[in-house]
Amino acid sequence: MEAAGHALNRVRCLGSGRLCGGYHALYSWSHSRDQIRKTESLEPGSSNALLFSLSSLGLPSDENKLMEHFIKNIARLSLAVDYDGNGYRRLAVVSLNDAALLNAILTVSSSHLNRWHGRKDSAPKFHLRKALHHLQKRLLKPAQARSEITFMTMLLLLIYELCEGTQRWKYHYEGLLTWVRLRDGCSDVDPFLTGLLGLIATQVILHMPGLFREKAYNLLSVLFPQACSSGSVDVLSGFYIGFPELLVESARLHDEVMRLRAYSTDDDMLGLRAVYGKAKKLQRRIQATQLGPENLPSLGMIGAQQCTSSICESLVPADILDTLEVRQAARASAEVFRHALHIYVYRILHNPTVGGECPMEIQSSVDDVFRLIPDIPDTVGPGSFLGWALVVIGAEIDALERRQHIKRRLQSLATMALNHGVLAISVLEEVWHRRDMAVSGLSNNRLFRWEEVLEDMEIDLALI
């Protein structure tokens, strides 16, 4: 691998808080899978093995406390289901042998503690600079650049920037895209890592049309070449294993409709009528993923490549005594996502309605969601990533009591200091304001789709 121009200016600029053009590195790796095999890996292990006295890690006292916070709190809060073998806890073990990954973890942990306690100190920036410095050195060495530890480091730095609400997450995202693109598939990459990157790609698809969305389509096709339609819920996100595939088709449908509306005339709408047929077929597939309360799902991971029952159904909660309760909550969460996707597809072809005009099928989904919500914990657990789904559902609501219910749910997510729910509240409040103005006749502004509000507010971060 050769450095282009000033070696890895992107990493240096991130370290100083400046923005520039990208991870400036020209990769010259062979595309042979045998030569691109990982040289370091995220070895499997039990989460319980890490619940020991952390003084044995040999870290300085301050770093030891941050690592303890990462293992005990962030690893639990950052997943829909805290499962046995939690990937974040396995990252902690691997990081003890690598300075880049260790400092990326300490960056995430210290920044989360600051947000949680409403304070500011220099620890996050200190560890961020160290992480970027060591990442730069890794990227200059081909064997280290292609290892999973480099992937892990960039992924954690991306998560840090997302939680901080900055635009710099995009540069780490581009670095991860390059890392994936220069491999001959990702079947040999730990499913936890591909699953996390896939979850981020779904957020990109939902919030960023255009080139970023197209890249996310391509990324998901590489990460998850084989669709899994089993009745499993993803432990990372809380949606059905098959959700990303349906989401991609839904977003592509949205792209197609936007193009047709931009270039078609009233007398030439054959293409739009064909899209209606596609939408109906897609809605039937979304409906087919439904699981009733009598059919509790297994727990799986979207990053598992072969999606056989032995992989998709092998995960269990970290606390085995909570298995039944967790599976019930996971089903409810996945159903909320399913209803949100149903509404999303419907609104691709139908304008929003206000003032008691909600179509019966949409009202039915909204009502079902309010029956499901009590089964989902407020903060930690399968509902941790419901921000987007609650925005889609909340955008259909005029009743003040139900709006407050949705808002309280999002506020509860925000208490975890992961930046979950914060943007969702802002977007929904603006959607509701526009709806109310339209109902009262005080405004002719009909741009109250949540996507239009996102664009007007210039928000392209995740509504998680």
Tens-digit pLDDT string for the chain (464 aa): 433 333 344 444 544 444 454 453 333 333 333 333 333 555 544 444 444 444 457 899 999 999 999 999 999 999 999 999 999 999 999 999 999 999 999 999 999 999 999 999 999 999 999 999 999 999 999 999 999 999 999 999 999 999 998 999 999 999 999 999 988 778 889 999 999 999 999 999 998 888 999 999 999 999 987 766 568 999 999 999 999 999 999 999 999 998 888 776 664 566 778 899 999 999 999 999 999 988 899 999 987 654 444 444 478 999 876 889 999 999 999 999 999 999 999 999 998 988 777 899 999 999 999 999 999 998 788 999 999 999 999 999 999 999 999 999 999 988 887 877 888 999 999 999 999 998 888 877 777 899 999 989 888 777 77
C-alpha–C-alpha distance, residues 137 and 120, integer Å: 29
Q: What are phi and psi of 397, to 5 degrees?
A: -105, 135
Pick from 317, 39, 49, 71: nearest CA to 189? 39
Query: Sign of dihedral through CA atoms 336, 204, 252, 269?
Result: positive
pLDDT for the residue 93: 93
Count of residues in the chain:
464
Q: What are phi and psi of 276, to 5 degrees?
A: -60, -40
pLDDT for the residue 372: 97
CA distances (Å), 214 to each of 210, 248, 251, 424, in order? Answer: 6, 10, 10, 23
Pick from 224, 77, 58, 72: nearest CA to 159? 77
Helix or strand run (H / E) with residue 299: strand 298-300
- Residue 25 DSSP code: E
Pick from 240, 250, 245: nearest CA to 278? 250
C-alpha–C-alpha distance, residues 447 and 287, integer Å: 28
Pick from 382, 370, 394: nearest CA to 448? 394
Query: pTM for this structure?
Result: 0.87
Helix (H, G, I), strand (E, B) or coil at 459: coil
pLDDT for the residue 39: 39
C-alpha–C-alpha distance, residues 387 and 382, integer Å: 12
Residues 168, 157: contact at Cβ < 8 Å?
no
Classify 185 in phi/psi space as left (phi over 0), alpha (psi -120 to 50) or beta.
left
